[in-house]
Chains A and B, each alone.
Chain A
Amino acid sequence: MRKKTALAVTALFAAATLSLSACGTGGAESDQPVADVSAEAQDKAATVLDRPFEKPDLVLKDTKGKEFDLRERTKGKPVLMYFGYTHCPDVCPLTMSNIADAKRRLAQKLPKDELAELQVVFVTTDPERDTPAELGKWLKAQDPSFIGLTGDFPTIQASARTLGISIDAPKKEKDGSVTSMHGKQVIAFSPKSDAGYVLYNGEEATADDYVKDLPKIIKGENP
């Protein structure tokens, strides 16, 4: 009896949550399968992909304005990749600060050269405003080792799409403000296969999650 009631309560809450998100956003989220509810309940930040993503064949400019070939420069190295923009007061700095904080804490646990292998790549979704200099200033304030990439928007959008991340071009509003968009996930690429094999929800994964998982990701293991 007890168990049944508890189940009923849980089910009702799940139903309420689902109807809530269905009403609230209407977009892609309502298409998510019911299975996501149980995934959330496990309270694990990382999602290991059954079918990993190929690393995008992406050549952009780094924060010094020099050409940066993602595949060539990060071959055989663990990579964390995120799509965002610097005129973003909340989720983008939260995501990057969480990774920066985790790296600082891991510096006391991991051998220096091991941690130095980790490449954190921030690709702007707002290249018009995020020039190499702007991007450099913003990233340096969080962690000087972070790699910032900017360039042609269609190129950035196309590479994001190969990773299942959809981003719209920044849009100028009537009041002169610009609406930009950040990606939802942080993708971890394995140093063994160079494939994107783990996803994190940028705004939900905490620094603690990265502290826990990064030592494994650096070795290409499943977190």
Chain B
Amino acid sequence: MTPRKAHPLPGHRPSRSFARSWTVVAIAAASALALAGCSSSDGADKEPAADAKPQLSVTGAYMPEPVTKDMGGGFLTIANKGGADKLTSVTTESAKSAGLHETVDQKMKMVKAFDIPAGGALKLERGGNHIMFHDLTELPKKGDKIAVELHFEKSAPIKAELDVKAPTYNPHSH
């Protein structure tokens, strides 16, 4: 079972003849969700294998317009069609430093790396984990682009551009 196949959303109404299989898919999806919540280490029975070569692609990279040059947050999604990898650092010429920050219970903390699960995705979203930029060279304005290079444990570095969005931009809000 791969995440690709589990697509059901509560809003979609199944037709009668599909009701049974729908329930089965829902159960599968529910257990997949529960699984994702509880275990991060068992890649053994997943496809692709955890030791397969990671295949990464970066989408939806943005930075909400920061308040001051002192700091800004970066958000993006790294999809992975291959084996597990880790985002280990971010470099940029637009700031003095860029770090990886996790948010747990309204607290932010530097971390050494973010896991990119095999056949899954690393999602950095508002309210959660993010890239923390310190001492930006210039105050980014909406419409600007911030060039970054993402470094990984296994994969070769990937160049990406963060689109600077409005301070209130949040693609995941309701």
Task: List the interface of chain A (C-beta within 8 A of B).
Answer: 1-2, 5-6, 8-10, 12-13, 15-17, 19-25, 27-28, 43, 86-91, 93-94, 96-98, 101, 137-138, 141-142, 167-168, 173, 175, 177, 179-184, 203-204, 206-207
**Known contacts A27-B105, A94-B170, A180-B108; is-contact A142 B67 (Cβ 8 Å):** yes
Chain A neighbourhood of B106, CB < 8 A: 91, 167, 181-184
Chain B neighbourhood of A10, CB < 8 A: 10
What's the least CB distance linking A61 to chain B, in Å? Answer: 20
Instruction: Determine the main DSSP class of A at the interface with B.
Output: helix
Chain B neighbourhood of A175, CB < 8 A: 110
Interface positions, chain B 66-104, Cβ under 8 Å from A, are 66-68, 70-73, 101, 103-104
Contact between chains at A89 and B132 (CB < 8 Å): yes
Interface core residue of A1, A6, A22, A101 (most chain B CB under 10 Å):
A6
Could you tell me the distance between the alpha carbons of A94 and B126 in the complex, rounded to whole angstroms?
A: 9
Contact between chains at B38 and A23 (CB < 8 Å): yes
Contact between chains at B105 and A9 (CB < 8 Å): no
Could you tell me the distance between the alpha carbons of A137 and B10 in the complex, rounded to whole angstroms?
A: 45
Instruction: Determine the main DSSP class of B at the interface with A.
Output: mixed
Residue from the list B110, B133, B167 in contact with A94, Cβ < 8 A: B167
Could you tell me the distance between the alpha carbons of A15 and B27 in the complex, rounded to whole angstroms?
A: 10
- How many inter-chain residue pairs (CB < 8 Å) link A and B? 138
Could you tell me the distance between the alpha carbons of A184 and B34 in the complex, rounded to whole angstroms?
A: 25
Could you tell me the distance between the alpha carbons of A89 and B67 in the complex, rounded to whole angstroms?
A: 9
Residue from the list A19, A23, A101 in contact with B168, Cβ < 8 A: A101
Contact between chains at B10 and A6 (CB < 8 Å): yes
B33 within 8 A of A: yes
Contact between chains at A207 and B10 (CB < 8 Å): no
Interface core residue of B26, B68, B106, B130 (most chain A CB under 10 Å):
B106
Contact between chains at B109 and A179 (CB < 8 Å): yes
Complex: chain A residue closest to B110, CB-CB? A177
Complex: chain A residue closest to B39, CB-CB? A23
Contact between chains at B126 and A19 (CB < 8 Å): no
Complex: chain A residue closest to B25, CB-CB? A9
Contact between chains at A89 and B37 (CB < 8 Å): no
Contact between chains at A87 and B30 (CB < 8 Å): no
- 15 interchain pairs, CB-CB under 8 A: A5-B22, A9-B10, A12-B27, A13-B10, A20-B33, A20-B34, A23-B38, A24-B37, A43-B174, A97-B166, A101-B166, A183-B106, A204-B173, A204-B174, A206-B170
